[in-house]
Structure 1
């Protein structure tokens, strides 16, 4: 079972930073590649909250990003990306639109989840904490990460359980794909009536506690989701990124993001509801060449498994 201890990222050219506010019960996660990297996004939920995702559409002027930000706070959390842009710009990192004194333009797509009803003090007036948390997460970026109640997963809930942030890695041949997920879904991550994760079949090295369904298990409608007390859309969401060292094109990354979303259906029931804003970024930070569509298909399948495991690890660590 994931225990919240630090895990090293599988890539030396990627850093991740987390920050949270205990009083507000919310947080921010910043994903930082060492250089501008190709990125795509897939938005599958019915109530997303995002920034600069249109920038990632195929055929646009800009096809690389300098950071990805995941945050709680619903629409207020989008302000965390402002702070990351400010920090990157001060270092001269960004899209170059002209010679100085024209400033660079950091490209920082972001997605938010709704944790505003979790009991934290949200009476922030005109000063939401997200720019501060964005700066703190940026400053904390390193080559390792914790799991559970940290960063964007700090105030999250998964069904009626604590949510959290998790990481999981899969390999296909020489290529690696790593999922970084903040879990705050409407649905439940557990088989109805049990403590067995939906994703139990994808477990690695006892990370879920080696729980399996009873021999006589029969599925029944879940009673541990948020559906019984939620009345509005936009109050949930799973957000995250899959990062690979495979040298993928923008088109390939779009497909990887689409396939990675299947990991939510493997680990949460129900998923991709009108009440969720499920958003997954796909980021290529390496030079590992794939042999063709067949290997990309395998990588996408691995990405889905990694998302399922990362989501489950985050929830279990938060508990």
Structure 2
């Protein structure tokens, strides 16, 4: 039976580290997923109000097929500047894309990113002409490690999941035949992650080892199809988003990574109701570190990877809210 990796974090996928940084006065933060080596990537955007950077570059028909890092940030459009800080750090290390090595010509780090809206959460946003996000990107990059906390950290610091505190969540799954899938998510959704009238997560069927509290609905539980539970009462366009990254050590082509990202979008729907609303900017990246070659990379195997990614993403979303609620109650 497939089980979570030793950390139950996306960094159980070998070759990845994650760094977080926060400005607790502003009530915002940034998360960066850094690959040890350039990695194949793809992206699927499903929400009606996304904010992204470099996602066009991830299409399967474009020239650059690998990325150096992925940034998930608070701050709405301001937060896209967090990738500037990460890009500068990687460039200073000599990492990045270049057609050829030329003296005095820097390489170009490839750092796609997505943002969530946390500008109306009560923090001090009077930053004038100096938003904090480039500095947060630099700090998150310097903080990268194999282990990291969940909940009110990184891009999840100022997030709200429906009527509950949102947060940063992560989970992993290691299969018996030797590959790993991981997920990380900043949960700031319009919809509810809880079943109406209960403390049970919509994602409860996918929970492993009681990782988000072990709450279950009763055997006779029913709810009206129109009953959404604790969704946000006053949604505004562009103010709600879940941004996420799936990673695997399976070697995928850009086209295969794109298909996995599309299958894995189901993880949002398993954890949040309703989802992909006009108010949401939901976006999902996929990273393949390429360390495990499938003996038979068939459509069935690709479907299997996408399905495992979807369930792992649902778990990561629930863990982000669970950990944020636990810390809020402490």
TM class, shorter-length:
over 0.9
Q: Give, in whole Å, the separation in 2 of the partners of 1:72 and 1:287.
A: 31
The aligned residue for residue 249 of structure 1 is 253
Question: Structure 1 residue 50: deviation in Å?
Answer: 0.1
2:312 corresponds in structure 1 to: 306
Deviation at 1:215?
Answer: 2.5
Query: Which residue matches 2:27?
Result: 25
**Cα distance in structure 1, aligned partners of 2:70 and 2:124:** 26
After TM superposition, the structure 1 = structure 2 runs for residues 172-191 of structure 1, keeping only pairs within 5 Å, are 172=175, 173-191=177-195
The TM-score, its normalising length taken from structure 2, stands at: 0.92
Please name the residue that 1:3 is paired with. Answer: none
Q: Alpha-carbon deviation of 1:224?
A: 1.4
Q: Which moved more, 1:107-116 or 1:282-291?
A: 282-291
Which residue is 2:46 aligned to?
Answer: 44
Question: Quick check: 1:35 aligned with 2:37?
Answer: yes
Alignment match, 1:229: 234
For 1:125, the equivalent position in structure 2 comes to: 128
Map of 1:1-319 to 2, 5 A cutoff?
9-98=11-100, 99-172=102-175, 173-220=177-224, 221-226=227-232, 228-230=233-235, 232-290=236-294, 291=296, 292-319=298-325
State how far apart, in whole Å, the 1-side matches of 2:153 and 2:77 are: 19
Instruction: Indicate how the Cα distance of structure 1 residues 196 and 223 shifts in structure 2: closer, same or farther if over 3 A, else same.
Output: closer
- Partner SS state of residue 265, structure 2: helix
Q: Give the Å deviation of 1:276.
A: 0.5
Residues of 1 paired with 2:255 and 2:229: CA distance?
A: 39
Residues of 2 paired with 1:171 and 1:132: CA distance?
A: 35
The TM-score, its normalising length taken from structure 1, stands at 0.95
Task: Give SS of 2:213's match.
Answer: coil
| Matched-pair contact (CA < 8 Å) for 2:170–2:319 | yes
Say if 2:213 and 2:322, in contact at 8 Å, map to a contact too: no
SS at structure 1 position matched to 2:172: strand
Q: 3-state DSSP class of the match of 1:69?
A: strand
The alignment's C-alpha RMSD in Å is: 1.2
Distance 1:303 1:12 in 2: 16
Q: Distance in 1 between matches of 2:273 and 2:164?
A: 13
Q: Secondary structure at the match of 1:34?
A: strand
* Contact persistence 2:17–2:35 (CA under 8 A): yes
Indicate if the aligned counterparts of 1:171 and 1:302 stay in contact, CA closer than 8 A.
Answer: no
| In 1, Cα distance between equivalents of 2:99 and 2:106 | 8
Deviating beyond 4 angstroms after TM superposition, the runs of 4 or more aligned structure 1 residues are none
